[in-house]
Amino acid sequence: MQPAFIRLIDNIRKQLDVSNWKGTYQDVLVWAPGTSDETKAMVTSLIEELETATPERTEDIKRTLEKLPMPHPGYHLCLQRQEQRLNIDIWELCYQVCFQNYASGEAVSIDTSLIDEQGEVGLEYIRYQSQTNH
């Protein structure tokens, strides 16, 4: 998946270079659906505490964290053109490009119809996906 991800980022860059959209990227934490704000805050606090915890406390924290949902890293593209703003999950977009009928957590098939003859994924498709998914 990483080569597809890198290619997608490069193709987005090429499209942004010639468009009037401004794109920035943001690292985000992605939580399992249904994770409460309280749980997110607790996990975040425990992870931060690990940095300065004693060895004994570190073991307690690790045992507690094993029982809690953990986020995984995500990467978002934030597009802006005048007052228009779009926020796109790049990994989700990569999965949509690579797999037919992609649905998180289900078996997938490769979808080659979303890539043009030159192997490019256009900004128009990205905007279309962000509008249909929000």
Are 39 and 95 found together in one domain? Answer: no
Are 94 and 114 found together in one domain? Answer: yes
Average pLDDT over residues 21-35: 92
- Domain boundary among the residues 21, 51, 70 is at 70
How many structural domains are present in the chain?
2
Are 25 and 80 found together in one domain? Answer: yes
Rounded to two decimals, the pTM is 0.62
Q: Identity (one letter) of the amino acid at 79?
A: L
Average pLDDT over residues 82-107: 84
Tell me the residue range of the domain where 49 lies.
32-70
| 81 Cβ contact partners less than 8 Å away, ≥ 6 residues apart | 19, 20, 21, 22
Are 55 and 91 found together in one domain? Answer: no
Task: Give the pLDDT confidence score for residue 102 in this predicted structure.
Answer: 77
Give the model confidence (pLDDT) of 68-92 as tens digits: 999 988 999 999 999 999 999 998 8
